[in-house]
Structure 1
Amino acid sequence: MMTSHRIAVLPGDGIGQEVMKEAVEVLELLKKLDPSIRIEFDTFGWGSEYYLEHGKMMPDDALDKLKKYDAILFGAIGDKRVPDDVTVWGLIMPIRKKFKQYINLRPVKLLKGVSCRFTGEDIDFVIVRENAEGEYSNSGGRLYQGLDQEIAVQNTIITRAGTKKAARFAFEYAEKHGKGTVTSATKSNAIIHSMKLWDETVREVGQEFQAINLQSYYIDALAAYFVLKPEEFEVVVASNLFGDILSDLGSAVAGGLGLSPSANLNPEGDFPSMFEPVHGSAPDIAGKGIANPIAQIWSAALMLEHLGRADLAAVILESIEEVLVQKEVQTPDLGGNSTTSEMGSAIRDIIQQLLLVKEGR
């Protein structure tokens, strides 16, 4: 079956531009090897450099342009010359909120060839993070700035509707992938209004899925369990802030942020979803050509899976793991001295081999 997709590419800042190049070349290779898929790319140079020139992270009509695409492949943002809140609220947040990307899906998987310093067990679970409200709501303000009596109020917005959508996605994901347990992150013993609503709503949704066990942990205990027994988790559902923190912790436990992808999903498909690595722009190594492109390439695989090509996504992940197992090409974060382009090239070589074998060539 022929599939055709238009992808908006936003490399962003720092190493985002370096790792994005490798991911796009992976997709270009797949186009060449598999005539059943057609992918067209348009690259947009929005980010900190654009801000320094224009005073904003993207043009006023950026979202109107992006909504015409089937998906967005995002790199990283962050620049020492631009405040972090400007980069985040000027680019990523408007995309997530305007396009109703209310699910952030983050696989936490110990890839073959990567050692875990905490456990010898297999680690393979996903974090479903509510991505549209919660603690990352632009609600609140500051009074009496600069004075001793200064007050800052940051409101957490938890709604039954938003929590229900996140919980339902988590349970449906578990059901679809044959998982037996959904774990909910909470802190309702201390955050007695918003987190109690979260707990009640997650339990309400869970009652519709009798074959799936729901367990709930306070966030502090859950963070410890991520380190002590990460192999026991299957699907974790969490509010925006809790999910953000747990995702980075999970990535660190499973080998590092340079290996971890994420998906910002609009499950209904009314708007494009966005796929990005969880690492930042890493200004300390930007321009040196040594960033690990695996997280960006894996993010591209998540994008293909979302677009209905789970077969090609599986080939990409298998190729990544084969390179890691061989250990002939390793970037500095993995203990080697290979370059970004060498890692990307090695992954593409394996992809080509696997696809040619499958075609019997």
Structure 2
Amino acid sequence: MKKYEIAVLPGDGIGKEVVPPALEVLQTVADIHGGFQFEFTEFPWSCDYYAEHGKMLPDDGLEILKGFEGIFLGAVGNPKIIPDHVSLWGLLIKIRREFEQVINIRPAKFFKGLRSPLLNPSDFDLIVVRENSEGEYSEVGGRIHKGENEMAIQNAIFTRIGSERAMRFAFELAKKRRGHVTSATKSNGIFHSMPFWDEVFSDVKADYPDIKTDAYHIDALAAFFVTRPQIFDVIVASNLFGDILTDIGGAIMGSIGIAPAANINLNGKYPSMFEPVHGSAPDIYGKNIANPIGQIWTAKMMLDHFGYDEAGKLLLDAIGDSIKSGHITRDIGGQLSTREAADAIINNFKKRAN
């Protein structure tokens, strides 16, 4: 039986509340499915850890994580302790960069029973493939001078290797879905990087003649996410554009609290990392009302990554069953606690699996 050793980082705020039930869901899936099992090792690296040690993780933290087959992250951030950019770059982004997690994927879909802010959601089901290692989020740049003459320069870095591998990942994903890839660009306004992005996209799509393609400028694309999200299948985007689009994806579903994400390492040297899109939500931490769906859907993405697509589909269906029946937390129209909502998903998974 295959055993997967998973490093668990509940992190901050509601991450500490939604990760434990999500682990129970994963264990239930493994027990029922058979053929694999999980072994979870938890680490307390977080803003609280920073308050005590002056760092988000120990000096050998990455060396420790390197030995695991996956990383299951809850949430990062507590601005009462340290600024968000310090906590993120000290843990989440540090892991993404140093573990070469060059692809970030985030789905969004319409769930019956979930109140979307859209008048007519039209059963959308899309996934954004976000380049995760460079682009607008590069560390190249700097600041000079002080006072009224102070200047900040932020350089966006686009490489052919980085752009092409994100695009090829998107095309390969589209082959398993509905056969359509949309490129997010802005070549009418950004002079160098976006025309380059368009050129690489044109080169890559030539290798996939059976996949239909479109390209939209990011401003129009963001609008189409709201007005006609049902036209999209797979969207490939740069680091910043992908980040923005996926928050819109969460919003049109009805809550960013249900949106999942996966940070994928392609070369096999390091583990991939799975995390919900939502933040640590310190304002509701400790109230047992945090929505666990984002964390549990993230668990589904980890199952997919390990090749257990059937189990992952059953889990997503169980999430849909819970939403449709109203067995959800108050933030999305239900009355359940975090624990009760997770239990509902577990029960629905058991029904579907039997």
Q: Please give the range of the TM-score, normalised by the shorter of the 2 chains.
A: over 0.9
The residue aligned with 2:58 is: 59
Task: Tell me the secondary structure at the aligned position of residue 128 of structure 1.
Answer: strand
Unaligned 5+ segments in structure 1 are none
Which portions of structure 1, spanning 4 or more consecutive aligned residues, are displaced by more than 6 angstroms?
none
Mapped pair 1:308 → 2:307:
yes
Check whether the contact 1:47–1:57 (CA below 8 A) recurs between aligned residues: yes
The residue aligned with 1:189 is: 188
Task: Tell me the secondary structure at the aligned position of residue 8 of structure 1.
Answer: strand
Task: Tell me the secondary structure at the aligned position of residue 148 of structure 1.
Answer: helix
Q: TM-score, normalised by structure 1?
A: 0.95
Check whether the contact 1:123–1:254 (CA below 8 A) recurs between aligned residues: no
The residue aligned with 1:212 is: 211
Residue type of the alignment partner of 2:124: I
Return the match for 2:344 from 341, 346, 349.
346
- 1:143-162 maps to which residues of 2 (within 5 A)? 143-145=144-146, 147-162=147-162
Kindly provide the CA deviation profile for residues 50-98 of structure 1, in whole angstroms up to 9, marking residues without a partner as x.
0010000001111111111111111001102211111110001111111
Distance 2:113 2:333 in 1: 12
Q: TM-score, normalised by structure 2?
A: 0.97
- 1:220-259 maps to which residues of 2 (within 5 A)? 220-259=219-258
Residue 115 of structure 1 deviates from its aligned partner by: 3.3
Check whether the contact 1:290–1:339 (CA below 8 A) recurs between aligned residues: yes
Mapped pair 1:293 → 2:317:
no
Distance 1:46 1:242 in 2: 29
The residue aligned with 2:96 is: 96
Distance 1:153 1:240 in 2: 18
The residue aligned with 1:48 is: 47
Residue type of the alignment partner of 2:200: T
Task: Tell me the secondary structure at the aligned position of residue 22 of structure 1.
Answer: helix
Residue 215 of structure 1 deviates from its aligned partner by: 1.2
Number of residue pairs matched? Answer: 352
Q: CA RMSD in A?
A: 1.1
Answer with 286-295 or 25-34: which moved more: 25-34
Distance 1:163 1:68 in 2: 28
Mapped pair 1:262 → 2:258:
no
Check whether the contact 2:115–2:332 (CA below 8 A) recurs between aligned residues: no
Task: Tell me the secondary structure at the aligned position of residue 348 of structure 1.
Answer: helix
Check whether the contact 1:130–1:243 (CA below 8 A) recurs between aligned residues: yes
Check whether the contact 2:76–2:87 (CA below 8 A) recurs between aligned residues: yes
The residue aligned with 2:74 is: 75
Distance 1:284 1:51 in 2: 20
Check whether the contact 1:261–1:276 (CA below 8 A) recurs between aligned residues: yes
Check whether the contact 2:180–2:213 (CA below 8 A) recurs between aligned residues: yes
Residue 141 of structure 1 deviates from its aligned partner by: 0.8
The residue aligned with 2:133 is: 132
Check whether the contact 2:115–2:333 (CA below 8 A) recurs between aligned residues: no
Check whether the contact 1:257–1:279 (CA below 8 A) recurs between aligned residues: yes
Distance 1:175 1:319 in 2: 25
Residue 156 of structure 1 deviates from its aligned partner by: 0.4
Residue 100 of structure 1 deviates from its aligned partner by: 0.9
Residue 337 of structure 1 deviates from its aligned partner by: 2.5
Check whether the contact 2:101–2:265 (CA below 8 A) recurs between aligned residues: yes
Residue 120 of structure 1 deviates from its aligned partner by: 3.7
Answer with 11-20 or 261-270: which moved more: 261-270
